[in-house]
């Protein structure tokens, strides 16, 4: 005589059918098949909610960009995945238009900075020197502070335009350009 496979037994403790069981017992079943079923159901629920949140986020960005275009404001654009930018590193990106070169710098776990790359003296491209806390312009030896984008040496008098950022859901978004005079 073969013994029943205990892993395949679905049995409620009080013998009443599954639908008559209280919710807490359905959520914490004692039979393994039921337990697996709940785990799969929870996983499916998690996937559906995550996908929904992602879809809502994309729709929100689309609506926000449409409203911004109507108001003549720069769009919201994803510029990098958080995991693609290690601490202490820099990447270039284009914002708000394809010909507008910018720099994204990650100085800490949660610290991000972004500026237009064009020097405010005569428009050469500045070079990030993260270890020295500065941007250097090779054309006329202009220097900008890395944390503020303000000029600290050489001919530039105006700060680098700052790109405002939003970091969420594992991605970094550019949300606008702050032109500054001092």
Footprint on this chain of ligand FES (rule: CB under 6 A) = 119, 121-122, 124, 137, 139-140, 142, 154-156
Q: Pick the closer one to ligand FES by CB: 116 or 119.
A: 119
Least Å distance, CB 152 to ligand FES, is 12
Least Å distance, CB 115 to ligand FES, is 13
- In which residue are the tokens 């972004």 written? 114
Task: Spell out the long-range contacts of 34-38 with Cβ–Cβ below 8 A and sequence spacing 24 or more.
Answer: 34/10
**What end-to-end distance do the CA atoms of the chain give, in Å?**
89
3-state secondary structure labels for all residues of 42-62: HHHHHHHHHHHHHHHHHHHHH
Instruction: Please give the residue whose beta carbon sits closest to ligand FES in the complex.
Output: 142
Least Å distance, CB 120 to ligand FES, is 8
Look up residue 8 and give its two tokens: 């395949």
Q: Pick the closer one to ligand FES by CB: 126 or 163.
A: 126
């Amino acid at each position: 005589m073969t013994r029943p496979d205990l892993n395949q037994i679905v049995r409620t403790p009080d013998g009443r059918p599954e639908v008559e069981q209280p919710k807490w017992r359905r959520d914490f079943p004692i039979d393994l098949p039921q337990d697996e079923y709940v785990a799969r159901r929870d996983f499916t629920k998690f996937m559906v909610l995550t996908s929904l949140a992602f879809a809502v986020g994309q729709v929100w960005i689309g609506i926000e960009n449409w409203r911004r275009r109507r108001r003549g404001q720069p769009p919201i654009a994803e510029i990098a995945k958080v995991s693609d930018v290690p601490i202490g590193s820099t990447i270039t990106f284009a914002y708000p238009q394809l010909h507008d070169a910018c720099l994204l710098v990650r100085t800490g776990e949660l610290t991000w900075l972004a500026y237009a790359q064009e020097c405010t003296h005569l428009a050469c491209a500045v070079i990030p020197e993260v270890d020295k806390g500065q941007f250097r312009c090779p054309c006329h030896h202009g220097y900008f502070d890395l944390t503020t984008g303000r000029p600290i040496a050489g001919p530039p008098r105006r700060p680098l335009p700052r790109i405002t950022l939003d970091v969420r859901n594992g991605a970094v978004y550019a949300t606008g350009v702050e032109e500054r005079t001092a």
